[in-house]
Every structure is written in structure tokens, then in C-alpha cells.
Structure 1
Amino acid sequence: MNSTPIPRFDLIGLVVSDMAASLAFYRRLGLRFPEDAESAPHVEAQILGGLRIAFDTEATVRSFAPDWQPGSGGRIGLAFLCASPEAVDASYAELTGAGYGSELKPFDAPWGQRYATVLDPDGNGVDLFAPLDHIPVQ
């Protein structure tokens, strides 16, 4: 039996083209970052349950991996649980009204959720969803 402790999932990391634009987008979804983080090369936010999300600028990544290039197409998806189906529509309207792109307009999905997808400043799909049966979010 191996006595090495099993690693614990701790952090979701995204490489961003524009830190200020990315922070503005994710703040609209309720993530809290330090107020003066827009020009930082690395920024983190605590998420419920102890998980963290971190953003690194492309320049930061290239400082230790000089040949790094951004991937093409969406390779990561993030999903945000909304309080109700109406909150999905409201969040979608607020984000697209602020100029962020849309991948999927809100719809009632066959798996029982109100569902929509917006695009963050780097083109990553960010899902907004809520159960259709109006179970309150805890």
C-alpha cells in the first residue's frame, strides 16, 4: 500500500489575455478578487468549500514557459448555479448587455435546467444554469 498522501483538488487556473477584463467579467458573476488586482500578473479568489480559482496573464506563463501558446477553441468550461430559472435569464441579460458574447441563449434544457452560455473575455464558455423545478439554491 502506498503511504504517499493523495493530492487534493485545490485550484482551477486560467490563463488570461487581459487581467482587468477577466476580473471585471468574473466579478459580475460574484467572484471576489482584491480591489487593486487589475495589473497583477497572478490573482486568486476563494470559492465555497475551499477551492480556489486563479488567473495568470499570458506574460506570466511565458516567464517560466517561453514557448507557451494559447490553445485554440474552448478547452475549459465553467458553470455557475443561479438561484432560479429567472436568475439565469437576468444574469445572461446583464452579461450580454454589458457586451460579453453569447454562445447559447437561455433555454429550458431537456435535462431539467434553465441553461445559457456566455463567453468570458478570452472566449471561454461560462454556463449559467438553474433547476427548472425552482428548488432554492442553498
Structure 2
Amino acid sequence: MNPKLNVIDIIVSDIQDAIAFYARLGLDFKVDEKYPDHAGCDLPNGLHLMLDTEKFRGGTQTSGWSRPTGDPRTFLAFEFADPAAVDARFAELTGAGHTAAQEPWDAFWGMRYATVLDPDGNGVDLYCPLPAE
């Protein structure tokens, strides 16, 4: 039997900052009543996205956990309906003070694409297929 990917866990330094960022993308995280350093969000496609603070995650690892260094190693990609929606969400996120990693552009693979960083430096891609010519 092949394993089923159904959960992605993002480690964050401040859970409320992360929740506020992802709320701007339309995600509705619920903080766990028993564990305030853990939150989850069910996505429409059956995937569950979790946020865990560094403190919480470090406490669940036998050998401890430490923050990685360098560029983002993982990117979440959010699809939008059209190029204007990509541009608008990019403007909203960067206007709220989040770091732009890649200004919106028409990528050679046929998509409008932009990248912002969440409060912990994780990459978040915003994209849509470009209209066929």
C-alpha cells in the first residue's frame, strides 16, 4: 500500500502572526484548545494544514528541533482564478508588510506567478494559468 499524504505541518515562531497571514489567503485555522501552540485547517481537497510553534515542535522531537537556516526549502502554492487576482493578493500581502520574494510575472511555463514569504520566511506562491492566446 502506498502512503497517503494528507497533512502538511509548518513550523512557525508566532502562531497568531502565521494565522493572520494565512487568513489573508482564505485559510481558517483553529487553535487547539488543549495545545495553544498548535492550529489546524482542513482544506477542501482533503488535505489538513497544521501550524506548530517552534516551542511545540521542539518539545515533540526526541533530539530536539532547531530552525533551519538559508532560503525557504518548501513552498505552498495557491491557485487563483486569473492574473488580476494574483496581482491583487500579492499587493495585499506585501502592502500588509510581508516580504516579496518574486514580483508578479508571466512565467515562461504559462502561468502568472508571484512569491511572498510568510512571517517565518516560508515561501508562498500565488499563481494562475495564463489565458490561451
> Judging changes above 3 Å, is the alpha-carbon distance between structure 1 residues 70 and 32 closer, same or farther for their aligned structure 2 residues?
same
Deviations 1:68-120 (A, max 9, x none): 10111211110000110000000000000000000000011111111100010
Alignment of 1:1-138 (within 5 A): 5-34=1-30, 40-65=36-61, 67-72=64-69, 73-133=71-131
Distance in 1 of aligned mates of 2:7 and 2:60:
19
Distance in 1 of aligned mates of 2:37 and 2:64:
18
Higher helix share: 1
Distance in 1 of aligned mates of 2:2 and 2:78:
28
1:64 deviation in Å?
2.2
SS in 1 for 2:41: strand
TM-score by length of 2: 0.90
Query: Which consecutive segments of 4 or more residues in structure 1 shift more than 6 A?
Result: none
Distance in 1 of aligned mates of 2:5 and 2:60:
23
TM-score by length of 1: 0.87
1:125 deviation in Å?
1.1
Distance in 1 of aligned mates of 2:122 and 2:30:
22
SS in 2 for 1:48: coil
Distance in 2 of aligned mates of 1:15 and 1:114:
28
Q: Give unpaired runs (5+ residues) of structure 1.
A: none
Distance in 1 of aligned mates of 2:116 and 2:31:
24
**Cα RMSD (Å):** 1.8
Aligned residue pair count? 129
Distance in 1 of aligned mates of 2:101 and 2:80:
18
Larger Rg: 1
Q: Give unpaired runs (5+ residues) of structure 2.
A: none
1:40 deviation in Å?
1.7
SS in 1 for 2:58: helix
